[in-house]
Structure 1
């Protein structure tokens, strides 16, 4: 994956806030199910779509995650409230740095 793009979209501080909130996706023993992917890459690609207005099928290949997987992750994260849980900590962090506007 493009490390530069991932780090710009999801800097270490944001990843430290987000990672504990993300549900664990596991492959099923009988096969199928969710393919193992780099969680930070998955999160960065969802951020890319949500902030840039890109369609899922137009995600750059450098993320290394399929558009279908990304869409499923975003949907699952929305259902469990990841975005709601991240909102306040991100605002608090930005406010502490004087960057909340």
Structure 2
């Protein structure tokens, strides 16, 4: 296992990306931070136990506020339920 478990490799991303909702084309504001980077940010916070405000910008994942909002958007879209269903299908083979 990597000593940086928040890094999302290509194989994991291939499983996760299809579960995420598309970004609205006419969304106000600047172009959003890449979903994969936001996921790495979320995993970093979960692995280290830091607060969203303490997220080091040097990681270049985006701000903690941005990724916290993205996590909320994914939750509202039911991503965790779809991920759980997908994990069950992988286990059943």
TM-score (norm 2): 0.70
Which residue in the other structure is 1:10 paired with? 8
Tell me by how many angstroms 1:66 deviates. Answer: 1.2
Q: How does 1:46-65 map to 2 (within 5 A)?
A: 46-61=42-57, 62-65=59-62
TM-score (norm 1): 0.66
Question: Which ranges in structure 1 are unaligned for 5 or more consecutive residues?
Answer: 97-101
Question: Which ranges in structure 2 are unaligned for 5 or more consecutive residues?
Answer: none
Which residue in the other structure is 2:36 paired with? 40
When the two structures are aligned, how many residues end up with a matched partner? 91
Q: Deviations over 1:22-77 (max 9, x none)?
A: 12234757xx4364212211111112223432211111221331111111101011
1:68 to 57, 62, 65: 65
CA pair 6-79 structure 1, distance change in 2 beyond 3 A: farther
Counterpart-to-counterpart distance in 1, 2:24 and 2:92 = 36
